[in-house]
Homo-oligomer: A and B are copies of this chain.
């Protein structure tokens, strides 16, 4: 009972299902199950047959692929409220990437068949899904742009800006969500580059770094620095929060 309630709350809090009816959410909760994964646990690997998709309750999961010569490409990092693996539905039920919990995480898995059923029978949900995909597509475009136009320090600054409430322009503290080496991977740079670029960012924008905590006195200054090389205007939060 308790667990079931937890599931419902987590589902209701997710980006994909927050507008769904309570009945629908109960239905998902009934078929879903929550698992705790330790840091480093591989949830599935690229080209596995996909039967379920996942919703992060808390923690972080890295989605990645590997090249022939052993390099790793980070497709995404997902956290609370985000889903992964659902795209397999449109890819012959094959996962197109591997997934690894990069810290202890609670993750809900839900049968893809349920999603398929809703796509076939729930027009309202399908529209939600269309919007969801459209936002992700836009995010990907932004990321491609960032890779070619922003330098390493600007990418880090931009990453931080997306972690704060962009509305209040004053003083803020943020907490890097996971190990710096994963942030580096997410931003497409090497840990050494990350370290040096962060140092440069500190010098140029007066932010203070204490371990994983970042103190920002002046959000405006940070955005001036990072967003100069971006075509999106500053308050530019990733996914609409409300």
Contact = CB atoms under 8 A, between A and B. Distances in A.
Interface residues of A, number: 44
B73 A231 contact: yes
B137 A87 contact: yes
Contacts of A228: 67-69
Contacts of A48: none
Interface string A158-200: 0000000000000000000000000000001000000000000
Contacts of A89: 134
Contacts of A230: 67-68
B149 A73 contact: yes
Contacts of A67: 149, 228-231
A141 B75 contact: yes
Nearest to A69: B228
B148 A147 contact: yes
Contact of A134 (B46, B133, B141): B133
A90 B140 contact: no
A123 B133 CA distance: 17
Interface string A47-69: 00000000000000000011111
B145 A144 contact: no
Contacts of A145: 65, 73, 75
Most chain B CB neighbours (cut-off 10 Å) among A69, A144, A148? A144
A138 B199 CA distance: 34
B134 A87 contact: yes
The 4 closest A-B pairs by CB, nearest first: A90-B134, A140-B140, A65-B231, A73-B145
Interface of A: 46, 65-69, 71, 73, 75, 87, 89-91, 96-97, 119-120, 123, 126-127, 129-131, 133-138, 140-141, 143-145, 147-149, 188, 227-232
6 contacts: A66-B231, A67-B230, A75-B145, A96-B138, A126-B127, A147-B147
